[in-house]
Amino acid sequence: MSKYREFYRQSLDNIDQFWSDQARLIYWNKPFDRVLDYSKPPFARWFVGGQTNLCYNAIDRHLPNRASQNGLIYISTETGQKSHFTYQEMYREVNACALMLQELGVTRGDRVIIYMPMIPEAIFSVLACARIGAIHCIVFGGFAASSLAIRIDDSSPKVMITADAGMRGGRLIPYKPLINKALEIAKRPPGKVVLYDRGLDEKLDRKTGKQFDYDALIKKHLGKNLEPVWLESEDPSYISYTSGTTGVPKGVQRDTGGHAVALAASMKHIYCGEAGETMFTTSDIGWVVGHSYIIYGPLLAGMTTIVYEGLPVRPDPGVWWQIVEQHKVSVMFSSPTAVRVLKKESQDYITRYNLRSLKHLFLAGEPLDEPTHRWVSDALKIPVIDHFWQTETGWPMLTSIPGVEKTPIKFGSPSFPAYGYNLKILSEITGKEVGVNEKGVVTVVPPLPPGCMTTLWGDDKRFVETYFKDFESQLVYSTFDWGIRDQDGYHFILGRTDDVINVAGHRLGTREIEEALQSHANVIEVAVVGIKDQIKGQLPIAFAVLRDTKAIESVEKGLSHERDIIKEVVRKLGAIARPARLYFVEMLPKTRSGKLLRRSIQALAEGKDPGDLTTLEDPRALDAIIQILKEP
Ligand code: AMP
């Protein structure tokens, strides 16, 4: 491991040299004066004084050599649509979209909400924002109206770009009713809404339903070019909302220069993606993985990115591997949940294809269990790299770094700290580093490296208080994940330290789900916990105390009382947050100081020891839960 160790050491000991070397991977219109300004910890300013543009680096820079190479291949197994765009064609589309935004009054620093399914126009919109220095904020197309409204109010966008509908598993998800509702609830709705009409939603009123029609606006500008706006390195590029322990999502803000350098460096050292090759990231642009490795990462590297709309098992579980074969994918990035779904089927769905082009499969977003890691490695016969990161970091914190050294993989482990992260596992009690194989909280001694969040949108105070106050005596960034390091230096992630759960790689705050359930008139209080699930990693289940227990037997519009209450979650947060079960109880287990004992409930639900219960206010509350969970 000597090469990795040396590379890692350099990144921490010679920060300026290390990162100015990496910064050469992108184009700077004006060189930076300083690599790092860390005069106001924990706020880090990277590549101070430098000017660059993400869209220029992702598209324009490749035109001399790759104008006729595909930049984007689009495959939808939902609609059957396939298309591809060369770098030259992307340049044309993105310029037209940038001009459209300009026509709508969007200028540098304005926010644009993108609420779109996985279609090429979503990627063009993102790059168009980057081109003119507008800050994009993609909201996952599965979020419900009120989740969208919260994000609208926090980011106060000038324009929203959306589509008529998304599709999942063959089911149409009309966006317009949802958008209308979100605009109605939002206190600071965008002045203008542009709709890309896929022609999917038959009910859409095409005469009055569209305020601005994407196609019509774009047509006016096709063929015209717009010079990119040269942004300061530290200018925000985008906001991505993520769940935390409170009911209010946090707007993770990323800069421009640091973000570009970090992604370009990761493409070289971690993903080993070469210009001219193809990358297939199976995530959605609504999540951080999509931002980093469907859009920016592969395009910064001059690769072809595959944009896929659909499930991993439709029309059959071989669909992704067929894409790998057909498009000679060299880098693939997916999630443990997706692999667990495939694992229910025969390995033959993978092995029947010629996958010789594939160098690595990367997996992230949630813990990768050892059997799944083994199973997929066995099927692919290439290194399957588990790597650990967060919306906040934007690129991996723990990973194997095959571009530097091909270190052996240990099943179930995301290997080692990535360069730039001064990662420490600290004891929750003493705040000191734990020993080999001892459990502690995974932290990073700041400054966080380039590409990580620079603050929370509009809330520096919350940024510091949320992430840097976990340990009183020292300033460290907390990941809120438990971890251990073994005798060989390999790390293992053991789950969250806070009340956040991870369903199929999607982070959900238990508090958010509780608040949604509590908005039902008959719910007095409620506790949500995540329990282990074979496929999705975790699933939310809920325990509620009702105002009127007689209602338990009631049926509201064909729904049992349980389903009627759960409906609130789907309405407020979207189907991804839907609790698998809602149990009715007389009281919830709390400490004498009134703190909900979520961890004990979770332990019981998973058949484990509920831990220290000495502070429990009323033991009957837990007994009742034990009883309920025993029932079939
Ligand atoms: P998100 O910001 O939604 O990507 O979620 C980040 C969280 O997902 C982390 O804090 C971890 O709890 C979990 N996570 C991400 N990658 C991994 C991994 N490779 N192994 C274990 N947990 C992971």
DSSP state of 553: G
Assigned domain for 184 exists: yes
What CATH code is carried by the domain that includes residue 515? 3.30.300.30
CB 537 near ligand 1, within 6 Å = no
To 5 degrees, how large is the angle CA 212–CA 213–CA 217?
95
Ligand 1 contact, 364 CB (< 6 A): yes
Q: Which pLDDT score is estimated for 245?
A: 64
Measured CA to CA, the distance from residue 194 to residue 147 in angstroms comes to: 19
- Torsion-angle region of 352 (φ positive above 0: left; ψ -120 to 50: alpha; else: beta): alpha
The alpha carbon of 502 and the centre of ligand 1 are apart by a number of angstroms equal to: 8
Q: How far is the CA of 493 from the centre of ligand 1 (A)?
A: 9
Q: Write down the pTM of the prediction.
A: 0.91
Residue 493 maps to a domain: no
Does residue 625 lie within any of the structural domains? yes
* Ligand 1 centre distance from Cα of residue 556 (Å): 38
Q: Are the C-beta atoms of 196 and 231 separated by less than 8 Å?
A: no
Provide the domain count of the chain. Answer: 2
Please name which of 306, 418, 347 lies closest in space to residue 77, comparing C-alpha atoms: 306
Cite the DSSP H helix spans in 108-144: 120-132
Summarize pLDDT for 426-484 with one digit per residue, the tens: 999 999 999 999 999 999 999 999 999 999 999 999 999 999 999 988 999 999 999 99
Interval 549-599: pLDDT, tens = 999 888 888 889 999 999 999 998 889 899 999 999 998 888 776 677 888
417: in domain: no
Cα separation, 526 vs 581, in Å, equals: 12
Q: Which of 335, 372, 388 to mutate to test the pocket of ligand 1 (most atoms within 8 A of CB)?
A: 388
User: What confidence tier does 604 reach under pLDDT thresholds 50, 70, 90?
Assistant: confident
Quote the pLDDT of residue 92.
98
Q: Is the CB of 502 under 6 A from ligand 1?
A: yes
The residue whose CB lies within 8 Å of the most ligand 1 atoms, and thus the one to mutate among 376, 390, 477, 536, is: 390
| 425 assigned to some structural domain | no
Measured by CA distance, the residue closest to atom 6 of ligand 1 is: 390
Say how many Å lie between the CA of residue 515 and the centre of ligand 1.
23
Answer yes or no: is the C-beta of 387 below 6 A from any ligand 1 atom: yes
**pLDDT value for 599:** 81
User: What is the rounded average pLDDT of the residues 524-539?
Assistant: 91
Q: Could you tell me the distance, in angstroms and rounded to a whole number, from the CA of residue 199 to the centre of ligand 1? A: 36
617 within some domain: yes
Instruction: Tell me the average pLDDT across 349-376.
Output: 95
Question: Which CATH number fits the domain that encloses residue 145?
Answer: 3.40.50.980
Closest to 480 in 3D by CA, of 490, 489, 470: 470
> What is the DSSP annotation of 436-450?
TT--EEEEEESSPPT
- Atom 21 of ligand 1, residue of closest alpha carbon: 367
Q: By three-state DSSP, how is residue 459 classified? A: coil
CB of 390 closer than 6 angstroms to any ligand 1 atom: yes
Assigned domain for 289 exists: no
Quote the CA–CA distance of 561 and 128 in Å, as a whole number: 47
Residue 42's φ and ψ, nearest 5 degrees, are -90, 20
Tell me which of 229, 250, 279 is where a domain ends: 229
4: confidence class by pLDDT, cuts 50, 70, 90: very high
Centre of ligand 1 to C-alpha 394, Å, is 11
Residue nearest to atom 13 of ligand 1 (CA): 366
Q: Tens of pLDDT along 225-240? A: 999 999 999 999 999 9
The residue to mutate among 361, 389, 498, having the most atoms of ligand 1 within 8 angstroms of its beta carbon, is 389
| Average pLDDT of span 612-627 | 83
Q: Separation of 631 CA from ligand 1 center, angstroms?
A: 33
Q: CA-CA distance, 561 to 280, in Å (whole number)?
A: 43
Distance 387 CA to ligand 1 centre (A): 9
Query: Of 214, 229, 244, which marks where a domain is finished?
Result: 229
Burial of 264 (0-12, 13-18, 19+ CB in 10 A): buried
Question: Is the pLDDT assigned to residue 90 strictly greater than 80?
Answer: yes
- Minimal-distance CA residue to ligand 1 atom 23: 366
Domain boundary among 229, 260, 288: 229
The string of pLDDT tens digits covering residues 68-78 is 999 999 999 99
Note whether residue 624 is domain-resident: yes
Q: Which residues of 219-232 are buried (b: 16+ CB within 10 A; e: fewer)?
A: eebeeeebebbbbb
Ligand 1 centre to CA of 443 (Å) is: 14
**Bridge pairing between strands 192-196 and 159-163:** parallel
Query: Ligand 1 centroid to 506 CA: how many Å?
Result: 9
CA distance 134 to 113: 10
- What is the rounded average pLDDT for all residues in the chain? 94
Our answer on whether the CB atom of 479 is closer than 6 Å to any ligand 1 atom is yes
The rounded distance, in Å, linking the Cα atoms of 261 and 279 is 19
Residue 242 CB less than 6 A away from ligand 1: yes
Please tell me if the CB atom of residue 386 comes closer than 6 angstroms to any atom of ligand 1: yes
**What spacing in Å lies between the alpha carbon of 499 and ligand 1's midpoint?**
14
Ligand 1 geometric centre to CA of 478 (Å): 13
- Residue 209 CA, chain-centre distance (Å), reads 31
Question: Phi, psi at residue 322, to the nearest 5°?
Answer: -65, -40
Say if residues 483 and 440 touch (Cβ distance below 8 Å): yes
| Ligand 1 within 6 A of CB of 467 | no
What mean pLDDT do residues 215-230 have? Answer: 97
Q: Note down the domain range covering 625.
A: 499-630
